[in-house]
């Protein structure tokens, strides 16, 4: 959530039909060292979304715990358990909301600058939490597993213990399928995110999750099969637990940056315009956030998950803010050295010396682009007689130096801006091609559930592409104007030089 790893469109037409919860069947496994039962819930899976956050559910794949959040099915028992576990009386309630399906709503007037929540540390899940199944925890700790995979395994271990885990009411209230790109298939990612740099990040994140699971399985689970049975510690369950971590884990700056799941606080939805963050408050000894605006009773309360681009929000949280509403939006802009450049080798060596490669990405924002991109562009367009300057250009592009070196090569300005404009226009063409193609592409899904899902993923991808293209359009406009002014200035200079010469000869 806030400042972890790494906002929404409404789809009223895809509101799922009210669905019934089917009875819960219990399956138990007897194991030599521990015994537990794994739940299997057969519920009618709504592959469609509620009004505010589209479901991205893959038919047939889900874990046997958690809930369908749009139904608020476990909300009341979560609140009861929290109160019994020491959560003080709250000025917010968990309700169905317009943004984010389920969220916290003010019960009373809340003023700007007030502290809310006060979740005690005993209700926080972190790498130091006690494991209900001690043996499993001891084995994990003996391998010094880092926080993220440790917490992912912890969640699965606790979830598999059902009511014997102290977190069962919390786990019951977690989404059975978190909204996350982890649930998109490779075909969907390739087809719908073809124009966006988020495609690469989604592929690599999925690869990381699979790699982490394989690593845990090979190094630990396979060595202790009695403690880590495949029915529980499998890829599908890790996809869920990592999806939960990506969309709910918070970093608490006042607890030395500890990462934690904070039940109740993790019911708050994100608003890109809000500037309120969760943290540990030493004076009240609880997790709080300080409001940056007032709320009236019945109004949904928001926090910030961090200054994230729309692509990053889709990647971790599975939603895209409405076009133009995310002040932190940016798009990764890729630039490369020209292989046919006479100085390709020298430029590449200079880049490598400063930790860069022949292709680099820089964040482009509606407000402009970073000096590092400009420095990279200077390097790309600089002629052989500027070879002495390659090094300082690479330093400026790498942003490694503490004192920001001035990036000032007036003789290269026009070419560098033209280079960025060309890259920008070729990216715009990619987005437009995708957006126009997506409009008319035939519906290939085989059933209505799948059709709904396809429509929703396409809508999310479309929203993201429109937001990212908007940033590129803005950059294109600024670049064209600058180049036009520059060229007009050049022409003026030439004209005045010409008339000066004429006067001289007269
Ligand atoms: C930390 S949880 C917040 C609580 C969540 N709504 C729930 O009911 O469990 C993060 C998830 O909430 C949803 N969410 C948060 N902010 C949102 C927003 N502005 N628009 C749409 N969905 C949002 C997304 O599904 C995201 O993955």
Q: Are residues 289 and 421 in the same domain?
A: no
Nearest CA to ligand 1 atom 17: 100
Q: Are residues 218 and 244 in the same domain?
A: yes
Nearest CA to ligand 1 atom 9: 267
Question: How much is the pLDDT for 501?
Answer: 61
- In-domain check, residue 291: yes
Select from 51, 53, 174, 467 the residue to mutate for testing ligand 1; criterion: most ligand atoms less than 8 Å from CB.
53
Q: For position 221, which CATH number holds?
A: 3.90.1410.10
Rounded CA separation 184/202 (Å): 9
Nearest CA to ligand 1 atom 22: 100
Question: How much is the pLDDT for 185?
Answer: 95
* Mean of pLDDT values over 458-467: 97
- In-domain check, residue 502: no
**Interval 54-104: pLDDT, tens:** 344 444 468 999 998 887 879 999 999 999 999 999 999 999 999 999 999
First to last CA, the chain: 74
- In-domain check, residue 496: no
Q: Are residues 362 and 291 in the same domain?
A: no
Q: Which atom of ligand 1 is nearest to the CA of 52?
A: 21
Q: Are residues 245 and 372 in the same domain?
A: no
* Mean of pLDDT values over 166-185: 94
State the binding site for S-adenosyl-L-methionine. 248, 269-270
**What is the tally of structural domains in the chain?**
2
Q: Which residue has the higher pLDDT, 5 or 236?
A: 236
Which of 283, 317, 351 terminates a domain? The answer is 317
What is the overall mean pLDDT for the chain? Answer: 86
Q: Are residues 170 and 201 in the same domain?
A: yes
Mean pLDDT lowest for which of 245-254, 372-381, 398-407?
Answer: 398-407
Question: How much is the pLDDT for 61?
Answer: 66
**Interval 262-275: pLDDT, tens:** 999 999 999 999 99
Nearest CA to ligand 1 atom 23: 100
**Interval 140-155: pLDDT, tens:** 999 999 999 999 999 9
Residue ranges lining ligand 1, Cβ < 6 Å: 1, 7-8, 52-53, 69, 99-103, 175, 178-179, 247-248, 266-267, 269-270, 317-319
Which range marks the domain in which residue 381 is found?
Answer: 330-478
Is residue 290 over pLDDT 70?
yes
State the binding site. 248, 266, 269-270, 305, 317
3-class SS of residue 492 = helix
- In-domain check, residue 491: no
Q: Are residues 185 and 116 in the same domain?
A: yes
73 burial type by CB count under 10 A (0-12 exposed, 13-18 middle, 19+ buried): middle
Q: Residue 449 Cα, ligand 1 centroid: separation in angstroms?
A: 22
Q: What is the DSSP letter of 32?
A: S
Q: Which atom of ligand 1 is nearest to the CA of 266?
A: 1
Q: Which atom of ligand 1 is nearest to the CA of 318?
A: 27
Question: How much is the pLDDT for 448?
Answer: 83
Are 280 and 252 spatial neighbours (Cβ–Cβ below 8 Å)?
A: yes
* pTM summary value: 0.85
What percentage of the chain has pLDDT greater than the value 90?
Answer: 76
* Mean of pLDDT values over 388-397: 96
**Interval 15-27: pLDDT, tens:** 222 222 332 222 2
* Mean of pLDDT values over 44-51: 25
Q: Residue 182 Cα, ligand 1 centroid: separation in angstroms?
A: 15
Going by C-beta distance under 8 Å and a sequence separation of 6 or more, which residues neighbour residue 235? 210, 213
ipTM greater than 0.95: yes
Q: Are residues 146 and 255 in the same domain?
A: yes
Is residue 456 over pLDDT 50?
yes
* Mean of pLDDT values over 465-476: 97
**Interval 345-367: pLDDT, tens:** 999 999 999 999 999 999 999 99
Q: Which atom of ligand 1 is nearest to the CA of 317?
A: 27
Going by C-beta distance under 8 Å and a sequence separation of 6 or more, which residues neighbour residue 376? 335, 356, 360, 362, 393, 397
């Amino acid at each position: 959530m806030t400042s972890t790893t790494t906002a929404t469109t409404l789809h009223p037409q895809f509101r799922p039909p009210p669905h019934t919860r089917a009875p819960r069947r219990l399956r138990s496994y007897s194991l030599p060292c521990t015994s537990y039962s794994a739940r299997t819930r057969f519920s009618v899976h709504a592959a469609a979304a509620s009004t505010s956050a589209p479901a991205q559910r893959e038919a047939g794949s889900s874990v046997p715990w958690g809930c369908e959040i749009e139904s608020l099915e476990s909300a009341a028992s979560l609140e009861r358990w929290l109160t019994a576990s020491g959560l003080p009386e709250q000025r917010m309630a968990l309700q169905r909301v317009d943004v984010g399906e389920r969220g916290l709503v003010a019960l009373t007037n809340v003023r700007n600058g007030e502290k809310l929540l006060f979740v005690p540390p005993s209700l926080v899940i972190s790498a130091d939490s006690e494991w209900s199944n001690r043996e499993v925890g001891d084995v994990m700790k003996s391998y010094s597993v880092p926080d993220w995979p440790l917490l992912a395994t912890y969640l699965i271990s606790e979830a598999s213990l059902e009511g014997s885990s102290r977190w069962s009411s919390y786990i019951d209230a977690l989404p059975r399928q978190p909204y996350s790109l982890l649930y998109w298939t490779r075909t969907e990612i390739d087809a719908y995110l073809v124009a966006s740099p988020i495609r690469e990040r989604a592929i690599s994140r999925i690869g990381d999750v699979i790699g982490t699971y394989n690593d845990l399985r090979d190094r630990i689970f396979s060595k202790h099969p009695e403690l880590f049975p495949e029915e529980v510690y499998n890829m599908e369950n890790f996809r869920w637990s990592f999806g939960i971590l990506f969309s709910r884990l918070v970093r608490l700056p006042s607890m030395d940056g500890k990462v934690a799941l904070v039940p109740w606080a993790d019911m708050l939805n994100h608003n890109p315009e809000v500037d309120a963050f969760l943290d540990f408050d030493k004076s009240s000894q609880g997790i709080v956030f300080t409001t940056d605006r007032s709320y009236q009773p019945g109004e949904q309360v928001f926090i910030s998950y961090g200054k994230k681009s729309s692509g990053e929000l889709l990647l971790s949280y599975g939603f895209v803010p409405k076009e133009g509403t995310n002040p932190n939006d940016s798009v990764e802009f890729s630039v490369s050295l020209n292989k046919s450049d006479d100085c390709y080798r020298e430029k590449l060596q200079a880049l490598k010396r400063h930790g860069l490669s022949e292709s680099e990405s820089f964040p482009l924002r509606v407000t402009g682009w970073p000096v590092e991109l400009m420095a990279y562009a200077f390097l790309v367009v600089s002629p052989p007689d500027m070879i002495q300057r390659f090094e300082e250009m690479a330093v400026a592009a790498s942003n490694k130096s503490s004192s920001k070196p001035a990036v000032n090569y007036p003789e290269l300005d026009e070419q560098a801006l033209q280079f960025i404009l060309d890259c920008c226009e070729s990216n715009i063409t990619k987005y437009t091609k995708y957006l126009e193609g997506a409009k008319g592409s035939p519906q290939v899904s085989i059933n209505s559930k799948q059709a709904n899902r396809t429509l929703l993923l396409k809508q999310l991808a479309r929203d993201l592409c429109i937001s990212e293209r908007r940033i590129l359009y803005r950059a294109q406009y600024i670049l064209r104007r600058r180049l036009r002014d520059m060229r007009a200035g050049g022409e003026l200079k030439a004209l005045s030089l010409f008339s000066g010469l004429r006067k001289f000869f007269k």
